[in-house]
Structure 1
C-alpha cells in the first residue's frame, strides 16, 4: 500500500527489481509480467510471444485495425539495425525505404547546388506568389483549368466515412497488453539505459550568435541544434521551382522541424508531439499558455505528461496496452499524442483511415489532408504554391509517425505529402537558408532537395491504415 503521508512510498516488485510509486502501475506490472502460470489476461498472446523471440519472422501484408486504440496490428515483425548507424531499429520490410531517405540526405548535403540571389524578393508571400515564369515552363499533360481546380477535387473517389480513432473511455476489461509488433523492439523494457536518460534530460546543444536584424541592428539569436524554424517557406520555394509540381499547399510556417539526436533511437512519436507544440506555442494557438518558455518539453517531460493524462482518464487504456511508458523506449502513437493534448484542454481531433472494399486507406487519407489544407482558400486562387494558416498534422502509419506540413499535386496527376520526419535532418543548405530566413534562391535540382521530405503514393500505398490528429489554429 502507498503511504498515506505526503511522501509517496516507493513500491518494490516481489518478483524482480522493478520499482514504482504508483500502486496501479505496480499492480499492472505484476499482472503483465508475473501472472500465475505466465498467462496474463492483460497480455496479447501473439504480441507477447513476438516480444519474447529474438528472431521473429517477417510480417505479412495483412493487417487489422484495433478499434480501441487506433493502432495497426500486423502479424509478427522483425527489426533490423539501420546500416547508416542512425540508432534506429527498423522493421525489415521498411529498411529499403529507410535507407533511401538516408541516401537522399547525403545527396542533398553534397550534390545539390543552391544559388542565392538578390534579384528575388525576400518577402515570403511575394517570393512564393511571383512565379509566372515558373508556371510558363511547366509542361502539364492536363487541361489548363487544372490550375484552378479544387485541390481536394483532384481525387475522384469519395472520402470514407471516418470518426474518432478510438474511444476516450474504454472498458478496461476489453483492453489487452500490446507486444513488440506495436511497441517496437523495446516493448518489454522496464527502464532505458541511464546514459540515454541523461542525454534526454540534458537536452540538446544550443548556440547563441549575433546576427543583423531587418532594422540593421545586431540581435542575439539562439540556435537549438536539432530544431529548424522557418523551414516551411524554404520547402515551399522548392515546390515553386520544381517543374513536376502542379500545385502545392503548405501549413502555417511557425511549425519547427525537430530531429532526433544521434543514436537516440525510436522516439519519433515524441519528436512529432514537439513539432505540434512548436506550432501551438509560436502561432499562439489554443493551449499556447502551457508552453510559454523558450524550450520545448523534453522527451522525459512528455512521458510524464502522457502518464498524467492517463491518470486524468484520457485514453487511459494506453497504460494497459503499453504497460506504462515512463523511462522506457516503447513506441507511442496517436492515442498518446491526443491524450496529452486533451489533458491540457487543447482540442485535438483524431481520425483513422483503413482500406475498405475498393477504396484504399491512402486515397481516403489524401482526401482528408487536401481538404484540411485547402479549406478557407479562395477557389479562384491560381497560385501554384500557397502557404496557408492551417496547422500541421500529426500523421501515423504502422511503426512510424511524421508531421505533415504540406501536400503536392504533380503534373502527372499523382499527389503526395510533404513531411517533417524526425528520423532525418534537413539538408545543411536548407537549414542554413531557413535559419537565416533566405528565400531568394534558385537551384537546378529542387526535387533532390525535397526528396527526404516527400512521401508519395509509392511509399504510402504500402500501408493499409493511417491516423491523423488535427489541432486548432489561433482564434
Structure 2
C-alpha cells in the first residue's frame, strides 16, 4: 500500500486532537521524535537546543568556524500554508500565520460589505432570514474563529514559546548587512566578509537556483495589483479607530510573490519602487525602459552596479547573486538605483534599548509623509510621495503610508510581498464603497509595535526629491 507523503500540518494537528493516540512529537530543530510524550520533548530541547549564549544557533563573533557551523543550523521553518513556502525564523512564524489568516478573514469580511438588493415592492431588503446586523456579526465571528484556529494549530504544531525580550535580545546578536551611509554600518564586525544563512537565507551557499524555479519566475513574473492604494485610503477613512493617516502616491503597485517562489521579497520591493518611478516618469525611468524589471533583470542590474564600483562590498558579502535565491537588502537596492541614475538615500535606525529603534523609525516615516501634505486638517491625508523601501532582519516591505490610532498607537501601512491582496480587496479597485469591517480588511497592511518590537535595527531607502518637488498626482 502506497503512503501519501504530502501533509497539511494544520490539518494533521487538528486531526490529532480527535484521536486517542497522537503521533510522536518531532523536534522542529533536528527531527528527533519523542515517543514518551511532551516531557521527553522538553527534556530533549533543554539538553540539546538550549536558549542563551551556549545555544548552537547563536553566531559567535570571535570564531569564524563556529559562526559558519551555527549559521548552517539556524532554526528556520517553512510556512505550512499551501503555496507560501516562505522560510522564517521560528519566533516570527506565529505572526506570519496570523497574517495569512487575516487574508482569509478579509474575504469573509468583504462579503458583508456588499449592500443587499432592495425589494421594489416593499422598499425593504429582498433577502430573507436573519437580519443584516445578525449576518454581519456572524460573518465577523466566523472570520475571527478562522484566524484563531489557524494560529492555535500552528503554535501547537511547533510548541512555539511566546515572544519575549530574551529572544529579541538573542536575535539582535546576529549581524545584518548595512548600507554604506547608515550610521550603524561602521560598527558591523562582519562587513566585507562572506555572510551566511542568517543574513542571506537558507540558500546562502547556492550557486544556481533549480530549473523549475527559473521556469516559474520566467513564465509567471509576479502577482501585481494596481489601484489598491486608493482602496486602502477609503478603508482608513471608514475605520473608526483611525485618528489620522497618510498615504503615498496612488499609482504604486502591490507586487507579491508567486506560489512556491520562496524568499524574493527584496526583489519584489524594488519592483514596487520602480512602479512609482515609471508611473510618474521619475528621474532614471528611461533606464528601466518604462517597465518593471524581472527578478533576473534586477540581478543583472545589481551585478553591473558592483562591476561599476557601486557598493562593491555586496559582492564580497554574498559571493554574487546572479541566478541564485540569496536574499538581497538595502545595499543592493541602493546599488541598483544609483546605477540607473535614480536618486535615492538610505537611513539606518539601530538602538539596543527596547522600543527605541521602533520609535525613531515611526518618527522618520511620519515626518517623511508630512512633507507631502497639502491640507493637514484632513483626517486621511493623501500625498503624491513615493513609497519607502523598508528593511529589517530577514525581511523587507514597501511602506505606502502611516497611521495613528485614537488609542495613540502608530502603524506603518505597508505592501508586504509575502502576502497577496484578498479577493474582496481586488474587487473594490476603482470603486467607491462602504465596508462593514474595515479594521479587519486593514490588518494585512498594518505593521505596528506587535510586529516591530522584536527588532532592534531597521533601514529605509527613500527616493530623493528633485528641486521642483515630487510630481503631483
Is the TM value for this pair above 0.5? Answer: yes
Equivalent residue for 1:107, pick from 105, 109, 112:
105
Q: 1:456 — aligned with what?
A: 448
Matched-pair contact (CA < 8 Å) for 2:76–2:89: yes
Match of 1:286 among 273, 283, 295: 283
Shift of 1:250: 0.5
Which secondary structure state, in structure 2, belongs to the residue aligned with residue 80 of structure 1?
strand
Aligned to 1:257: 254
Distance (whole Å) between structure 2 residues aligned to residue 269 and residue 101 of structure 1: 19
Cα distance in 2 for partners of 1:103, 1:174 equals 38
* Aligned equivalent of 1:84: 81
**Structure 1 partner of 2:436:** 444
> Cα deviation per residue 1:102-134 (whole Å; 9 max; x = unaligned)?
0001111233322379xxxxxxxxxxxxxxxxx
Determine if the alignment matches structure 1 residue 406 to structure 2 residue 401: yes
Alignment-derived partner of residue 377 in structure 1: 373
Mean CA deviation greater in 284-293 or 444-453: 284-293
- Report SS of the residue matched to 1:111: helix
Task: Please list every run of 5 or more consecutive structure 2 residues that lacks an aligned counterpart in the other structure.
Answer: 1-62, 117-178
How far apart, in 1, do the equivalents of 2:259 and 2:229 lie? Answer: 23
Q: How many residues end up aligned between the 2 structures?
A: 342
What's the secondary structure of 2:403's corresponding residue?
A: strand
Using the alignment, how far apart are the partners of 2:396 and 2:333 within structure 1? Answer: 11
Contact 1:109 1:429 in 2 (8 A): yes
Asked if 1:337 is matched to 2:333, the reply is yes
Q: Do the aligned partners of 2:246 and 2:380 also contact (CA within 8 Å) in 1?
A: yes
Cα distance in 2, alignment partners of residues 432 and 291 from structure 1: 30
Tell me the equivalent position of 2:195: 178
Distance 2:435 2:293 in 1: 36
Whole-angstrom CA distance in 2 between matches of 1:246 and 1:109: 25
Stretch moving more, 341-350 or 173-182: 173-182
Q: CA deviation at 1:47?
A: 4.4
Query: Structure 1 residues 193 and 283, CA, compared in 2 at 3 Å: closer, same or farther?
Result: same
Superposition pairs for residues 219-368 of structure 1, below 5 Å?
226-293=223-290, 295-356=291-352, 360-368=356-364
Deviation string for 1:183-227 (max 9, x for gaps)?
1111111111011011112244xxxxxxxxxxxxxxxxxxxx711
Alpha-carbon deviations, 1:3-61, whole Å to 9, x = none? Answer: xxxxxxxxxxxxxxxxxxxxxxxxxxxxxxxxxxxxxxxx9545422343xxx3xxxxx
> Residue in 2 aligned with 1:193?
210
Which residue of 2 is the match for residue 48 of structure 1?
A: 68
Q: TM-score, normalised by structure 1?
A: 0.68
**Match of 1:383, SS?**
coil
Contact 1:255 1:278 in 2 (8 A): yes
Q: Distance in 1 between matches of 2:184 and 2:343?
A: 15
Distance 1:268 1:359 in 2: 25
Matched-pair contact (CA < 8 Å) for 2:223–2:256: yes
Is this contact kept in 2: 1:163–1:351, CA < 8 A?
Answer: no
| 8 Å contact kept, 2:411–2:446 | yes
Structure of greater relative contact order (alpha carbons < 8 Å, 6+ residues apart): 1
CA contact (8 A) 1:257 1:422 kept: yes
Q: In the TM superposition, what whole-angstrom CA distance separates every residue of 1:301-329 from its partner, at most 9, and x where no partner exists?
A: 11111111111111110101011111111
In 1, the alpha carbon distance for the partners of 2:363 and 2:378 equals 20
CA–CA distance in 2 between the matches of 1:250 and 1:163? 29
1:134-186 CA-to-partner distances (Å, cap 9, x unmatched) read: xxxxxxxxxxxxxxxxxxxxxxxxxxxx992279999x996111011111111
| Matched residue, 1:209 | none
The 2-side partners of 1:227 and 1:423 are apart by: 12
Distance 1:200 1:390 in 2: 30
Pairwise CA RMSD of aligned residues?
Answer: 2.7
**Aligned-partner Cα distance in 2 for 1:166–1:188:** 29
Query: Hey, what's the Cα distance between the residues in 2 that align with 1:176 and 1:104?
Result: 39
- SS of equivalent to 1:394: strand
The 1:284/1:44 distance shift into structure 2, 3 A limit, reads farther
Q: Distance in 2 between matches of 1:95 and 1:46?
A: 26
State the distance in 1 between where 2:442 and 2:351 align. Answer: 28
Match of 2:10 in 1: none
Q: Report the Cα distance in structure 2 between the residues aligned to 1:50 and 1:407, rounded to whole angstroms.
A: 38
What SS does the aligned partner of 2:413 have?
strand
**Deviation at 1:83?**
1.0
Give the distance between the partners of 1:80 and 1:357, measured in 2 at CA.
28
Which whole-Å CA distance do the structure 2 matches of 1:407 and 1:421 have between them? 14
Judging changes above 3 Å, is the alpha-carbon distance between structure 1 residues 393 and 381 closer, same or farther for their aligned structure 2 residues?
same
Checking the alignment, whether the CA contact within 8 Å between 1:167 and 1:315 is kept in structure 2 is no
- Runs of 5+ in structure 1 lacking a partner? 1-42, 57-76, 118-161, 205-224
| C-alpha distance in 1 between matches for 2:381 and 2:66 | 47
Query: For the Cα contact (< 8 Å) 1:286–1:472, is it kept in 2?
Result: no
Runs of 4 or more off by more than 6 Å in structure 1?
A: 166-170
Please say if residues 274 and 297 of structure 1, whose CA atoms lie closer than 8 Å, have aligned partners that are also in contact: yes
Deviation at 1:287, TM superposition (A): 1.3
